[in-house]
Structure 1
């Protein structure tokens, strides 16, 4: 399965110089709660207030071993649920922007600025203590409160998994719906914001799932263009999340994707966007299990062609896919960025032995048969697009899954030169 080729590529990999980075806009605090057999039993017995209606969604996530997120729009209902776990788990920096910011600073990025409109004081303190510069666009923090999201991490042995699903640990996230203002830089601060990020050359952005109206998406797209205009070498990346609101997905496709340089998503999110492109109901995708690696490549290429996004990074268990424009000068640099991301993510996931994913090697063989011959290892052409495909390293002793998607996606993005 060509394992030796990939082992050599991983072993000879060097981390490139990294430029200052901006992240935004969703940073919060995560309460990470391990799901045990006892806790799952308490959910089934309805001893945890307000969790009953989430149980089916949790079990669906566990059966497919895939991350999922539920947004609760009723503040009182979320408060009741959150209070039920106030003595449980551990608190860590959360939100895609927050997780990426803390990680990138540890990775060696010389300066990381995290734009977090209306973030609470404890969230800002966590960022600051990690060496990150938080920008709240406010003079004081007395009117801001911290948002705590619930992250339920589970092992794959608690419920029977579906056929053909690779057994792995994962997570189920329950979040409050944030106000759209938390994703948009206040107009009065736009000029000073440009000055504060003038040295940044990469922007890792997220949180657009909280926007609801056409005008909010238009404003967000304009601000992405503003960020891109800071410097000719500035590149923007939007990290996606699971969600089934048809209008939100449609406006992401219409406004956000055409104005960014790169997007990141997993196979479930890719499936939702494919439904949105076809005009079908994304909610119907909830019970569908992951596509084959070859189908994922085809869908990612279709999404790239439909939106014009120059770079699409699909990350799933065992392998990563990157879709690039055909004129990409050095696709091997992008491939090496994926390799670095895989190695860093395996380090973050757990201790002990790390090995090439068997599932990833099998997927690579299938993709090589469908799209070969390669220009060089892991690099193919399909429909005037460059396809980069790598099997990943995995850790046998997984300690956590929370935030790994943000760790891998942000690493691959900032280490890429495109």
Structure 2
């Protein structure tokens, strides 16, 4: 593992020295407020008994498509606890939303993939970001960090970029309720194999992918100010409401591709199969996509690869050969140039271009994720290096061995079917402060880090 420590140290220095090369990143579309509740066994058990244990347990075996009752909410939380897997569902019923509000929260944080990435890229790394914020309430504005973070506004017919804190207006708050549990969390006869969370979303703006007028009317002008784009927030759409937002996104991707601006799609678990199919059709317009095993399995399912989908969820750590096969299927089907896979313990990137900078960007991302898990939040890029003290995950040695045997991988890099496969073992924080936003930290750090390094060559 000494080789990895050496590679980690050098990757951090390289990215830190070059991240200033990135002129700007466009982030769209979902920003919200996360209300975090740390689950307590006695409280949750009492609530389940009150709501009806038998009915609640039904949903711990199979997730509903959306939440329309309190037993569905509590059962979906149990689904995540049982598996140690994250999940997010839209809460449709007003009475269940009111129940969550009364249940309360332990802390409020910036939420939404875009909000989390904006605070990291702009507030920590100092990379200028232009952010789409569906609803800019005072509460939302106050959760943005200081730094080069901008929202577009139009004044006297001219596009103006202002920090969210200086935005004039007080709109509605979009709240996502996050129920966090630690590894070993016991309830009834379940025990969670690892720390994770369940998210109940009470937010009508992100659920319909509401896109602000400034973005619709001035997208060309906004895009000319950036080098990269990261898009997310498609996961809450349904077969009833996806058409209009997808049309807008297609138009945005056309503009980005005309300007040669690489766009990354940060995938998230999308319960609606129709929407998953449509995302698959949209992927050829993206440069890059980021996902974990649950998300990759859900895409394999709509591609008719049921067996491969099952393999992705069968083992812990996830079988890297199944992951590589699934990534190859996805790359060949869509022509997407970069697929970034992150799971507990290791990351992989499959690219149709080559270079150590791909692996180095993954290493930087792993440090950023460990730093976020350890501190709860990353105060500055210099703090990222503190995660060097976190040990490299020893449990993935067999994963590395399998990749070396199957693909001749050396130093985390291999050639597979005319693609480059990059692998890194991650650093695992034994008792993370929080798991929320770690996937977004990983994906945005790797994508932006890779671009910063590539530009420096």
TM tier relative to shorter chain: 0.7 to 0.9
Partner of 2:380 in structure 1? none
Q: Distance in 1 between matches of 2:321 and 2:344?
A: 14
Aligned to 2:28: 24
Contact 1:204 1:239 (C-alpha < 8 Å) held by counterparts: yes
SS at match of 1:23: strand
Q: Structure 1 length normalisation: TM-score?
A: 0.86
User: Which residue pairs with 2:123 in the alignment?
Assistant: 106
For 1:200, what is the secondary structure of its paired residue? coil
For residues 159-308 of structure 1, the aligned pairs below 5 Å read 159=186, 167-176=193-202, 178-179=204-205, 183=209, 185=211, 189-211=215-237, 212-229=241-258, 231-232=259-260, 234-255=261-282, 257-278=283-304, 291-308=318-335
Q: Residues 237 and 261 of structure 1 are in contact (CA less than 8 Å); yes or no, is this contact kept in structure 2?
A: yes
Provide the rounded CA distance (Å) in 1 between the counterparts of 2:403 and 2:305: 28
- For 1:40 and 1:133, how far apart are their aligned partners in 2? 40
Q: In the alignment, what sits opposite 1:94?
A: 111
2:336 counterpart SS class? coil
- Aligned partner of residue 127 in structure 1, secondary structure: coil
Is it true that 1:154 corresponds to 2:181 in the alignment?
Answer: yes
C-alpha displacement of 1:166: 9.6
| Equivalent residues, number | 404
Q: Secondary structure at the match of 2:325?
A: helix
Q: Specify whether residues 303 and 39 from structure 1 end up closer, same or farther in structure 2 by C-alpha distance, changes over 3 A only.
A: farther
Which residue of 8, 15, 29 maps to 1:10?
A: 8
SS in structure 1 at match of 2:50: coil
Contact 2:365 2:446 in 1 (8 A): yes
Aligned-pair Cα RMSD in Å:
3.3
- Between 1:343-352 and 1:268-277, the stretch displaced more is 343-352
- Secondary structure of 1:350's counterpart equals helix
Are residues 78 and 323 of structure 1, via their aligned partners in 2, closer, same or farther at CA, if it must alter by over 3 Å? farther
Alpha-carbon deviation of 1:159?
3.2
Task: Tell me the distance in 1 between the aligned counterparts of 2:112 and 2:212.
Answer: 20
2-structure distance, mates of 1:289, 1:162: 22
Judging changes above 3 Å, is the alpha-carbon distance between structure 1 residues 4 and 125 closer, same or farther for their aligned structure 2 residues?
A: same
In the aligned structure 1, how far is the partner of 2:309 from the partner of 2:90? 14
8 Å CA contact 2:345–2:425 kept in 1: the answer is: yes
1:141 aligns with 2:182: no
CA contact (8 A) 2:31 2:115 kept: yes
Q: Which moved more, 1:286-295 or 1:195-204?
A: 286-295
TM-score (norm 2): 0.80
Partner of 1:72: 91
Where 1:335 maps in the other structure, the secondary structure is helix
Alpha-carbon distance in structure 2 between the residues aligned to 1:314 and 1:159: 30
**Does 1:359 pair with 2:383?**
no
Aligned to 2:143: 126
| Cα distance, 1:402 vs structure 2 | 0.7
Q: Deviations over 1:34-80 (max 9, x none)?
A: 11222322332236995322333222212221211112233x14432
* Per-residue deviation, residues 312-338 of structure 1 (Å, max 9, x unmatched): 11101000011111xx142x1011000
Q: Which runs of 5+ in 1 are unaligned?
A: none
Structure 1 contact 113–197 (Cα < 8 Å) conserved: no
Asked whether the equivalents of residues 46 and 52 of structure 1 are also in contact (C-alpha less than 8 Å), the reply is no
The reply on whether 1:61 has 2:80 as its aligned counterpart is yes
CA distance 1:195–1:65, shift in 2 (3 Å): same
1:337 is aligned to 2:356: no
Show structure 2 runs of 5+ residues with no match. Answer: 53-67, 156-166, 376-386
Deviation of residue 244 (structure 1)? 2.0
Q: Report the Cα distance in structure 1 between the residues aligned to 2:109 and 2:330, rounded to whole angstroms.
A: 34
> Which whole-Å CA distance do the structure 2 matches of 1:189 and 1:68 have between them?
29
- Measure the CA separation in 2 of the matches of 1:161 and 1:390: 37
Does the residue aligned with 2:274 lie in a helix, a strand or coil? Answer: helix
Equivalent residue in structure 2 for 1:36, among 22, 29, 40: 40
Aligned-partner Cα distance in 2 for 1:125–1:354: 32
- In structure 2, the CA distance between the partners of 1:162 and 1:128, relative to structure 1 (3 Å rule), is same
Is the Cα–Cα contact under 8 Å of residues 184 and 220 in structure 1 kept in the other structure? no
Distance in 2 (CA, whole Å) between partners of 1:282 and 1:123 is 41
Residue of structure 2 in register with 1:378 after alignment: 412
